[in-house]
Amino acid sequence: MSTSAAFQTSFWPVEDSPAGKTELEEVEVTHHRLSETVKVYAIYGDCPRMGTVTKFPHDKLRPVMFIWRNREYRVQDVTYVWREIQGQAEVYHFTVSDGANVFELSYNAKALDWTISGVYNE
């Protein structure tokens, strides 16, 4: 269930501008705050082929796909990861992109469940 929706305007650089200057293009971005359970497929472990050996559990967990509202989304990029304590539970947050949208997924390590916390799209 969506708890709120907010609209904001963002500015993105435009590379091909006359006179060689970088101009800003106005893009309307929609942000929806959510709290819905999702099914997430994730991998866990170090990635030696990429040269990364991690010390923290949330650095080892990586969502690769999720199903939300009967639609499958393949994660192309994990852009940000952070951890917080909520009561007695550790909650790991992942900002991910499917190439068209940005999603915030949260994993509750105590309850062993995933939720979608937000969606950003144009």
pLDDT digits (tens, 9 = 90+) for 37-51: 999 999 987 655 545
Determine, yes or no, domain membership for 82. Answer: yes
Is residue 66 in a domain? yes
**Do 61 and 44 form a contact (C-beta atoms < 8 A)?**
yes
Q: Is residue 70 scored above 50 in pLDDT? A: yes
**Amino acid at the residue 72:** E
Give pLDDT, residue 37: 95
Lowest mean pLDDT among 25-39, 44-58, 79-93, 95-109: 44-58
Q: Does residue 112 belong to any structural domain of this protein?
A: yes
Taking all residues of the chain, what is their mean pLDDT, rounded to a whole number? 79
CA geometry: angle at 87 spanning 105 and 38, to 5°?
25
Report whether 29 contacts 121 (CB < 8 A): yes
Structural domain containing residue 69: 33-121
Is residue 87 a part of any domain in this protein?
yes
Domain count, the chain: 1
∠ Cα 76 84 102 (to 5°): 25
Report the range out of 16-25, 26-35, 57-66, 111-120 with the highest average pLDDT. 111-120
**CA distances in angstroms from 34 to 25, 29, 31, listed in the order given:** 28, 16, 10
Examine residue 3 and state whether it is found in any structural domain, yes or no.
no
Residue 25 domain-assigned (yes or no)? no
pTM of this structure = 0.69
The reply to whether 27 falls in a domain is no
Residue 22 lies inside a defined structural domain of this protein:
no
Backbone angles phi, psi at 58, to 5 degrees: -70, -15
